Amino acid sequence: MTFEAGLTVAVVAGVLGVLFATRLAADMVFLAGLAILMVFGVLSPAEAFDGLGNPGLVTVGVLYVVVAGLEDTGGIRWIVQRLLGRPRSLGHAQLKLMWPVAAMSAILNNTPVVAMLIPAVREWARKHDLAASKLMIPLSYAAIMGGTCTLIGTSTNLVVHGLLEEQVPGASLQMFDLAWVGLPLTLAGIAFIYATSRWLLPERRPAIAQFSKPREYSVEMLVDHDGALVGQNIEEAGLRHLSGMYLIEIDRKETVLPAVSPREVLQGGDRLVFVGMPDSVVELQKIRGLTPATSQVFKLEGPRSQRMLFEAVVSDHCRLIGQSIRQGRFRARYNAVVIAVARGGRRLRQKVGDIVLQPGDTLLLEARPSFIEQQRNSREFLLVSRLEDSSPPKYERAPVALGLLVLMVAGVTAGLLSMLEAAMLAAAGMLITRCTGVERARQSIDWSVLLVIAAAFGIGTALESTGVAAATAHWLVDIAGGVPWVNLAAIYVATALFTALITNNAAAVLMFPIALAVAGDLDVSPMPFVIAVMLAASASFATPIGYQTNLMVLGPGGYRFVDFLRIGLPLNVVTGLVAILLIPLAWNF
């Protein structure tokens, strides 16, 4: 073994060991490994950072902008309401999530499906008091498994099929040929996740969920006279099962309706009084057809979609102490509107404008993003913090955003555009039609995920160029002897191993010529071996770096490297056994 090969093996082992044993950021660990290979001359700077120009990487980055447009217009909420609904239990939630995701990933590329649904699933989990860590890995795995059912489900399928047509004359696959193996593989995988996830998936919740008495606000919202909620009852409007918030009364034309029935029909102008936590107020802000009861929000400069929610604690130096919010002209003084007030855990029954401010009051405010910078060092407030993802959606542009999504999917499905071209056009459309803003688009991109993918490409190049990958793959195949089925299993295992260590497309390209060589040596059809490479490279669950959707859910789910290994390794075994048993039945040796 050469020095370069030995160093590459050591770096790969070191990177995986650090990720397994520590909580260090994955992007920093990968970049450190890449830097070592570059400093010692194993990789040139061009080779090390060639992954930054990879179309798959760029596609993932551009899709974040598309998702930002869907999220900012409320399109994500519409998809969740139609697709997921209300689960009865955690297991039911996982099934309601995995089946449609697998189906969507079979006819779309699985990467945009996951990118689109991550924020939706996060919000769905919060609304129904479910741990996101119990749902994000099932989201990624279902998308991966669904992608194995069709030729266009994953980029790996398309890459391998292109190699097949190029190097094996007359060989080709139709759109749904892979379903003979992919569908049983998906059924077995979903059943395994449903049966074992309660033990194999971690349960991690935000820190606020650990407190028994979190801060509560009393919030008043108005039902828009011509809004989407008029004529719906409380249950149909989705106002009965709000996480961390409950509806305590309705003020209707000077008549108060306490102990509201879920069958109560909403009317235009109804004043709804809610009590709940700050994050739940954010959820209220995003329900179409509801607006804050205070008219002051419409007197602030700029559209509501360019504002967000803040919490501010009143100090004893505040000039408005002893005055009501209306008397003190709070909006004119601070260019912000008070939505609700929390005081010592007690509910304040007055209207917001009539509340007399006291030191220590916590105010929930709607203001422009610059508010936090203007008041950070002010003596008026002891603390100012923003509530993330709290800007009201631009519901009027939701049809435009959903239309752009449909056009993107149709263009790829019809073969008119590549995934990258379609994503770039859709992202440009989101910006041009103002479904999202430039600054929001920049902030939406998860650079840590992109850096991990780019660094993984570089390390994969080192494994290939030093001969480590080819030598290991040949060794695995050589021990299989002359039995076709055993050789097929060896090809599958070798492909799965390298997919876990490098990337799915790189592993597929590496193993394809080896698969053809093994078929030639055995004098059998290459198709079973090609299908094995295709499925093993696509169905990668054991590590977050094995498939890009795993990387995409790493942060939102609060996962560690070992979490993927714990559930993904046995899932690899289950799906691998299904594939190895069925491939020769669908494609004879």
Query: What is the per-residue pLDDT for 82?
Result: 74
Query: What is the per-residue pLDDT for 307?
Result: 81
Mean pLDDT of 27-54: 87
CA dist., res. 413 & res. 552, Å (int): 23
Which tens digits make up the pLDDT trace of 544-583?
Answer: 877 878 888 887 888 888 899 999 999 999 999 999 999 9
Mean pLDDT of the chain: 83
Q: Name beta bridge partners: 274.
A: 219, 247
The DSSP 8-state label assigned to residue 260 in this structure reads -
Query: What is the per-residue pLDDT for 502?
Result: 67
Q: Between 481 and 326, whose confidence is greater?
A: 326
Q: Between 228 and 536, whose confidence is greater?
A: 536
When mean pLDDT is compared across 46-50, 105-109, 253-257, the lowest value belongs to 105-109
The correct answer on CATH 3.30.70.1450 for the domain covering 217-386 is: yes
Query: What is the per-residue pLDDT for 374?
Result: 83
Where do runs of H (alpha helix) occur along 242-296? 278-285
The DSSP 8-state label assigned to residue 106 in this structure reads H
When mean pLDDT is compared across 106-110, 130-134, 447-451, the lowest value belongs to 106-110
Mean pLDDT of 477-485: 78
Query: What is the per-residue pLDDT for 560?
Result: 85
Q: Which amino acid is at 225?
A: H
Mean pLDDT of 120-138: 85
CA dist., res. 503 & res. 116, Å (int): 22
Find where tokens 């056994």 sit.
577
Find where tokens 């069958």 sit.
263
Antiparallel, parallel or unpaired: β 255-258 and 271-276: unpaired
CA torsion sign for 547, 548, 552, 554 is: positive
- Give helix then strand counts, H and E, for the chain: 23, 9
Query: What is the per-residue pLDDT for 400?
Result: 92
Give φ, ψ of 386 to 5 degrees: -95, 150
349 close to 356: Cβ distance less than 8 angstroms: no
> Binning pLDDT at 50, 70 and 90, where does residue 425 land?
very high
The yes-or-no verdict on residue 141 having pLDDT over 90 is yes
Domain edges within the chain: 5-204+448-586, 217-386
CA dist., res. 95 & res. 83, Å (int): 12
The yes-or-no verdict on residue 212 having pLDDT over 60 is no
Antiparallel, parallel or unpaired: β 217-223 and 290-292: antiparallel
Query: What is the per-residue pLDDT for 215?
Result: 65
> Binning pLDDT at 50, 70 and 90, where does residue 528 land?
very high
Query: What is the per-residue pLDDT for 214?
Result: 55
> Binning pLDDT at 50, 70 and 90, where does residue 211 land?
very low
The yes-or-no verdict on residue 210 having pLDDT over 50 is no
Mean pLDDT of 410-434: 85
The yes-or-no verdict on residue 213 having pLDDT over 60 is no
When mean pLDDT is compared across 15-19, 37-41, 92-96, 500-504, the lowest value belongs to 500-504
> Binning pLDDT at 50, 70 and 90, where does residue 9 land?
confident
Which tens digits make up the pLDDT trace of 229-281?
Answer: 889 988 888 787 676 677 888 888 778 887 788 888 998 888 888 887 777 77
> Binning pLDDT at 50, 70 and 90, where does residue 52 land?
confident
Mean pLDDT of 287-295: 81
At 269, is the secondary structure helix, strand, or coil?
Answer: coil
Query: What is the per-residue pLDDT for 95?
Result: 93
CA dist., res. 456 & res. 461, Å (int): 9
Share of the chain above pLDDT 90, in %: 18
At 311, is the secondary structure helix, strand, or coil?
Answer: strand
Q: Between 205 and 290, whose confidence is greater?
A: 290
What interhelical angle do 90-107 and 136-147 show, nearest 10?
30
Which tens digits make up the pLDDT trace of 155-190?
Answer: 778 778 877 887 788 777 877 889 999 999 999 999
CA dist., res. 522 & res. 588, Å (int): 13
Find where tokens 């009051």 sit.
361
